[in-house]
Amino acid sequence: MTDRDAFHHHPELRVKIKPAAESFFRDLDLGTLDAHAAKAGFPSDWRTPCQEREADRRRWLESRPEPDLWVFAYGSLMWDPSFKFDEVRLAHCPGYQRSFCLWDDGARGSKEEPGLMLAIDEGGSCEGLAFRIRQEEIEHETFVLFRREMLVPVYRPVWLDLDTAAGPIEALGFVANRAREDIKPGIPLAQQAGMISCAKGLFGDNMDYLSDLHERLMFLGFKDPYVSELYAAADALRGKPA
């Protein structure tokens, strides 16, 4: 055990990051998700089988560079990681940039009005948060993480080289899996804004997700012109006739 405060680098984040015990994703009920998917017309094999996902998780853990594990967060994991962590740092990720390229017809969209969810894709760079999970807690905390991020293989886990004020680190990140049809890079920004402004699904409104992301980036002092432009375009469309 350690007595060091997880927020000792950034005490201002203490009230901005949801405790793991309060996260909806901490004890995610896959049976409820399966029932919703069936009602929405998804096939019975819509998600990765648990045994397959767990095997992939353990393979990744075997290749981790250090006993503890760093995880890079660039979207909702920044404010709702759902796993317990022992340290958090602001982090710069070269080589990957944010992109609303994940076609979503279930979580924050529907088959009638699909939305878009966030990934990071190759090119550019982005800022985010890096969370360190202690070696003693990796087994369960990564179970929670992979069940959330790898429920469907729209992301692929990779090792990312990150820069932080306290020194460079290597972290696990989840990036766009271009082998999946759900990943659709190159959608014009105006179309992205139109989809996000009106889509909603099991986890809520698509616009709420974008608004939360925009707000958190501003609080952290991260400048992401793409997110700012997309938010402004989507916000301008709200309340207008379809």
> Over the stretch 10-53, which tens digit does the pLDDT of each residue have?
999 999 999 999 999 999 999 999 998 998 899 999 999 999 99
Please name the amino acid found at residue 154: V
87 inside domain: yes
Establish if 194 belongs to a structural domain: no
128-150 residues labelled b (16+ CB within 10 A) or e (exposed): bbbbbbbeeebeebbebbbbbbb
Structural domain count of the chain = 1
Token pair of 22 as six digits: 């309060």
In a domain, 231, yes or no: no
- What is the reported pTM? 0.95
Q: What is the mean pLDDT of residues 76-101?
A: 98
Q: Is residue 144 in some structural domain?
A: yes
Q: For residue 190, give the 3-state DSSP assignment.
A: helix
- What per-residue confidence (pLDDT) applies to 66? 92
The yes-or-no verdict on residue 242 having pLDDT over 60 is: no
Give the other-Cβ count within 10 Å of 34's Cβ. 14
Domain membership flag for residue 48:
yes
The residue range of the domain holding 163 is 11-185
Quick one: pLDDT at residue 240? 66
The pLDDT of residue 1 is above 50: no
DSSP 235: H
pLDDT band at 239 (very low <50, low <70, confident <90, very high): low
Whether 1 is covered by a domain: the verdict is no
Left (φ > 0), alpha (ψ -120 to 50) or beta: where does 52 sit?
alpha
What are the angstrom distances between the C-alpha of 132 and each of 96, 99, 135, 197? 20, 25, 9, 34
CATH code for position 122: 3.10.490.10
- Is residue 191 a part of any domain in this protein? no
Residue 5 lies in a domain: no
pLDDT digits (tens, 9 = 90+) for 141-163: 999 999 999 999 999 999 999 99
Instruction: Give the distance between the most distant pair of CA atoms in the chain.
Output: 56
